[in-house]
């Protein structure tokens, strides 16, 4: 019997021939220069074998001539237009070779890669061979590595070709062709006709846009992040033994608090107790650091990008090459568990020859072996990625990738690292702290896997009940840190989690958005971050603004497509059902997108105008199936240029990429056309629409000037630029402590600024603190202050780009997404405080004699936007209720109903905010600026704010008519919360009466922290951001 074996690549064909023939084979040429035919006898099956190969997909899919040209039809008709399949022009020689060899054979054995794409390529091969010889039988060889055992087993035990998997790939290819072509034509033609800056193809892909969406979403999170300062008590003990070379820090059990008043009050109370720290518990336990799971394709891309600093696609390309050379198992797998019968020892034996990890491999043979952990995934096709042979002559990145995989395999076969963890719990001043230490007893897998870190951290020996005086007790501050921009490893994880692409195609989609200029790679030190270009942000923000139920820039649609493919593979759904269902979904999205596309245009215009260049050289006419393909237009900064007719994209300028002749590009895997799934092919572009202009440069938006900072010791470090800014020094104390008057601490701090006690290092004397420094530095101390907008953040600097008298002139605008109307020319002296109409106050850390009735708010000049108590720009509203004030306009807080601060002011009020007077308060709703007889809120009791209970004040928590507490003039009662006072007094914000403080329900208190000995309370910050009050309770 004569058997025709067809592999997917020339290197695989040669390796299979060498293994099956034992090196005894005859080589023949084929119509294609890089493809050879190998003939040999295979006595195990008594057959004559001929081994040849293809070069990826043979078939291409495209529209007919009536729909191929961009201006031949409406883009919407492409959802139903006929699609034809044909052998790509550059694969005609491979087709002739298959037909010639199939005529001589009785059996066809498919040796393509064992995944969905490989099944589809196998089906294409079978279709061509059956045309030459209809009666030929078709079998499939299944293998996971190019090693003798698996290759012989596959040749002797062939199986049937899985046509269900092939049908799933076919359905996805046709669906991607239709949706990609329709959306690409629609958005390209619409943007080109309305924006002069857009000259080239603005391509759409069902995987490409959700991938871009992840990058834009993270960028927007970084841009909009506002750091928040928090405060915590830091406790440390100097080493008691010379063997311990550093202080022992203790962590506050509360973590940190965002209210400085609360943190300072607790800190002052801790110091006032003048107590020693008491060790309440010492816990010692054994702990482990788990060894890594077996390696999957996604984890290889993530870890390789993070640890080896290589692009995911490059990592997969190297792994694929090593697989073809027989050094690795198949590198595309989702399996993270080995079969129980897997032969580990033979593979470990091969690694003993390595000079770097050979000794560790021998230790595994001598009793150090332990079966790898079992993950949760098994694709039932391939084992986890592992080395199949020792490779001692690799260099460069190939060596680094192989070394990582080999070390990972040996680490999986080793034991977990073992350590002993000690936790010491203490109580100091009524507050709980803890310190932890670690001693690594057995490193085990860490000996061969340096990518994981687990270091010992010594802690002194403490005994339960032991007492000591801490060396350091400081009130420190830090800031919340912004999320980092996405790295390629982060993006791989997000795509895998959300079902965008497969483990084998994720890297291709990332490469695609980089090539097309939607995303730009930016290096920060040794880390590569992904930043969306101006066009990328404009497209995603525009589609998000349309408001789809399932957005084109979100992963839901593609996730459904991947799930449908699984159902087709399992036989639960047919190929035609999957295509029909997908087309109906995208039709609905297309209609809505086209109707509201002005939103996309306006967003793209906002980001692109003034930032991009012009487009690349166009040209290229229409080609046809039978003749020479038309020349493609050059690709500009946005992506590959358009091909004419059946031609691929022309050579790209900027970030564009060129396509080959014909409707497909090169010999990559993946279908043609607009296939955005597993393929790597360029699709047909708009023939004849090219214009001879310069390519647009993909521009990355600037990192926000108000980038959040990260607290590092006594300074704050800019997370992007690496610069530092002075931070407030910690509040500390010197031991032994004397009892402080808490009321004195509050009043003196508020009057003179933070009077810092000297440094708390025991035995080190410091000069007394100087009264007067404020929590906010004096802006006049800096001769060149940075420009801030009315929101209190750094203003954004821009340059006039329009052709007028001010072209090229710099100016400043609001740095908080235009929430205020700030504007200032950059070449003019900054406005003084008086000119700006707002006094710049320097608030103290703790308010002095501040009562519940302190309703003062930032004052604004009539020329500036009015500010509510939340320090936000107030909104102008109109009274709709019938009455004397109907249609009268008033200013109110812009927050949601639950978070409003209660600010109210009539627009036509004669008393302006700059007068410094507090307007009258309505006794019905509690708002200022109107009286009860003109209340626009109809006296809604739910909106009423009650003041503190002071009998002498008719605005306090007492009846308006009789002055008695516990009810209001309307008869509505309020709850009182009676709390015991601090043992050192009470701050001036509360009224003292018989040892208790009465707090009316003007504030809804939340318990934010509860421990065995103490807890604290804070007012609901959403309900009352302008009048935060604090109570402390101790048990």
Q: Give me the active site residues, please.
A: 330
d(CA 173, CA 61): 8
> Which residues does 1013 contact at the CB level (< 8 Å), separation at least 6?
427, 430, 431, 432, 1034, 1035
Strand ranges in 429-503 using DSSP code E only, listed in sequence order: 431-442, 467-468, 472-479
Q: Which DSSP letter does residue 389 get?
A: S
Rg (CA), the chain: 36
Strands 527-532 and 519-524: antiparallel
Do 250 and 237 form a contact (C-beta atoms < 8 A)?
yes
Q: Which DSSP letter does residue 982 get?
A: B
Do 937 and 921 form a contact (C-beta atoms < 8 A)?
no
Written as one string, the DSSP assignment of 13-70 is HHHHHHHHHTT--EEEE-SSTT-EEEEEEETTTTEEEEEEE--S--EEEEE-HHHHSG
> Which residues does 337 contact at the CB level (< 8 Å), separation at least 6?
294, 372, 373, 374, 375, 376, 377, 378, 384
Strands 137-140 and 107-111: parallel
Coil, helix or strand for 222?
A: helix
Helix pair 396-412, 312-324: axis angle to 10 deg: 80
Angle at 150 between CA 149 and CA 156, to 5 degrees: 95
The edge-to-edge listing of strands for the beta sheet with 715-718 is 709-712, 715-718, 724-726
Q: Which of 629, 652, 851, 736 minimizes the C-alpha distance to 271?
A: 736
d(CA 675, CA 205): 8
CA neighbours within 13 Å on the CB side: how many for 11? 9
Q: Which residues of 829-854 are buried (b: 16+ CB within 10 A; e: fewer)?
A: ebeeeeebebeeeeebbbbeebbbee
d(CA 388, CA 338): 14
d(CA 734, CA 470): 10
Do 707 and 700 form a contact (C-beta atoms < 8 A)?
no
Would you say the C-alpha torsion 127, 131, 132, 135 has a positive or negative sign?
A: positive
For the chain, the maximum distance between any two Cα atoms, rounded to a whole number of angstroms, is 113
């Amino acid at each position: 019997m004569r058997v025709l074996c067809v592999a997917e690549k020339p290197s695989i064909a040669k390796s299979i021939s060498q293994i099956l023939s034992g090196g005894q084979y005859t080589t023949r040429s084929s119509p294609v220069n890089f493809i050879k035919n190998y003939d040999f006898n295979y006595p195990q099956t008594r057959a004559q074998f001929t081994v040849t190969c293809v070069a990826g997909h043979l078939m291409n899919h495209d529209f007919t001539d009536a729909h191929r040209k961009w201006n031949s039809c409406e883009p919407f008709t492409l959802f139903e237009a006929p699609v034809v399949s044909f052998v790509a022009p550059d694969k005609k020689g491979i087709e002739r070779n298959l037909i010639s060899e199939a005529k001589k054979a009785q059996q066809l054995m498919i040796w393509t890669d064992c995944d969905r794409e490989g099944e589809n390529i196998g089906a294409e091969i079978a279709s061509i061979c059956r045309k030459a010889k209809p009666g030929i039988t078709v079998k499939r060889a299944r293998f996971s590595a190019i090693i003798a055992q698996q290759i012989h087993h596959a040749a002797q035990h062939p199986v049937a070709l899985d046509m269900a998997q092939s049908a799933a790939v076919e359905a996805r290819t046709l669906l991607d062709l239709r949706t990609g072509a329709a959306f690409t034509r629609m958005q390209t033609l619409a943007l080109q006709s309305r924006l002069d800056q857009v000259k080239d193809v603005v391509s759409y892909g069902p995987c490409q846009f959700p991938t871009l969406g992840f990058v834009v979403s993270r960028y927007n999170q970084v841009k909009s992040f506002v750091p928040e300062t928090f405060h915590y008590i830091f406790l440390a003990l100097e080493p008691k033994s010379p063997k311990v070379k550093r202080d022992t820090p203790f962590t506050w059990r509360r973590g940190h608090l965002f209210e400085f008043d609360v943190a300072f009050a607790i800190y002052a109370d801790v110091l006032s107790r003048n107590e020693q720290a008491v060790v309440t518990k010492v816990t010692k336990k054994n702990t482990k650091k788990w060894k890594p799971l077996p390696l999957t394709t996604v984890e290889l891309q993530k870890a390789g990008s993070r640890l080896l600093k290589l692009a995911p696609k490059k990592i997969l390309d190297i792994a694929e090459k090593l697989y073809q050379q027989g050094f690795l198992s198949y590198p595309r797998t989702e399996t993270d568990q080995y079969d129980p019968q897997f032969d580990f020892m033979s593979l470990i034996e091969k690694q003993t020859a390595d000079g770097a990890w050979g000794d560790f491999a021998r230790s595994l043979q001598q009793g150090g072996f332990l079966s790898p952990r079992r993950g949760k995934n098994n694709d039932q096709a391939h084992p986890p990625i592992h080395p199949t042979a020792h490779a001692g002559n690799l260099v460069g990145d190939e060596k680094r990738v192989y070394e990582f995989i080999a070390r990972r395999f040996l680490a999986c076969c080793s034991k977990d690292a073992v350590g002993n963890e000690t936790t010491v719990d203490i109580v100091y001043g009524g507050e709980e702290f803890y310190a932890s230490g670690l001693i690594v007893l057995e490193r085990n897998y860490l000996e061969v896997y340096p990518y994981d870190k687990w270091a010992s951290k010594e802690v002194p020996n403490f005994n339960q009940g032991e007492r000591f005086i801490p060396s350091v007790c400081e009130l420190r501050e830090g800031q919340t840190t912004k999320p980092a921009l996405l790295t390629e490893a982060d993006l791989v994880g997000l795509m895998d989690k959300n079902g965008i692409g497969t483990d084998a195609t994720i890297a291709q989609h990332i490469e695609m958005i980089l090539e097309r200029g939607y995303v730009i790679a930016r290096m920060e030190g040794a880390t590569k971050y992904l930043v969306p270009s101006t066009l990328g942000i404009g497209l995603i923000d525009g589609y998000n603004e349309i408001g789809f139920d399932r957005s084109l820039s979100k992963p839901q649609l593609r996730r459904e497509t991947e799930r449908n493919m699984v159902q087709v593979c399992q036989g639960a759904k047919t190929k035609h059902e999957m295509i029909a269902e997908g087309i109906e979904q995208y039709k609905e999205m297309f209609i809505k997108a086209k109707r509201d596309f002005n939103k996309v245009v306006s967003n793209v215009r906002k980001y692109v105008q003034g930032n991009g260049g012009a487009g690349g050289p166009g040209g290229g006419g229409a080609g046809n199936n039978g003749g020479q393909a038309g020349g493609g237009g050059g690709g500009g900064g946005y992506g590959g240029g358009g091909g004419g007719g059946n031609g691929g994209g022309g050579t790209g300028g900027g970030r564009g990429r060129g396509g080959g002749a014909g409707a497909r590009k090169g010999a990559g895997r993946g279908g043609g056309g607009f296939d955005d799934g597993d393929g790597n092919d360029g699709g047909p572009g708009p023939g004849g629409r090219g214009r001879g202009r310069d390519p647009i440069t993909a521009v990355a938006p600037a990192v926000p000037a108000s980038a959040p900072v990260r607290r590092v010791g006594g300074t704050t470090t800019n997370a992007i630029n690496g610069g530092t800014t002075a931070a407030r020094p910690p509040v500390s104390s010197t031991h032994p402590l004397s009892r402080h008057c808490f009321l004195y601490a509050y009043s003196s701090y508020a009057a003179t600024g933070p009077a810092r006690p000297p440094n708390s290092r025991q035995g080190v004397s410091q000069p007394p603190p100087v009264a007067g420094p404020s929590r906010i530095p004096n802006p006049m101390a800096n001769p060149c202050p940075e420009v801030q907008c009315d929101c209190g953040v750094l203003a954004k600097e821009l340059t006039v780009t329009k052709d007028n008298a001010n072209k090229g002139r710099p100016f400043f605008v609001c740095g908080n997404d235009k929430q205020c109307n700030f504007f200032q020319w950059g070449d003019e002296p900054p406005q003084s405080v008086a000119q700006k109409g707002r006094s710049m106050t320097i608030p103290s850390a703790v308010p002095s004699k501040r009562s519940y009735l302190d309703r003062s708010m930032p004052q604004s000049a009539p020329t500036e936007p009015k500010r509510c108590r939340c320090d936000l720009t107030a909104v102008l509203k109109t009274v709709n209720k019938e009455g004397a004030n109907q249609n009268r306009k008033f200013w109110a807080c812009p927050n949601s109903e639950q978070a409003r601060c209660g600010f109210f002011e009539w627009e036509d009020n004669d008393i302006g905010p700059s007068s410094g007077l507090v307007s009258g308060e309505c006794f019905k709703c509690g708002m200022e600026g109107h009286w009860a007889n003109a209340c626009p809120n109809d006296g809604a009791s739910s909106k009423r704010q009650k003041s503190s209970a002071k009998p002498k004040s008719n605005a306090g928590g007492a009846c308006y008519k009789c002055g008695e507490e516990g009810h209001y003039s309307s008869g509505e009662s309020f709850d009182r919360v009676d709390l015991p006072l601090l043992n050192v007094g009470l701050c001036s914000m509360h009224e003292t009466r018989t040892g208790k403080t009465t707090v009316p329900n003007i504030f809804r208190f939340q318990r934010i922290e509860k421990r065995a000995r103490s807890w604290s309370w804070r007012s609901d910050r959403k309900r009352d951001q302008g009048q935060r009050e604090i109570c402390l309770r101790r048990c």
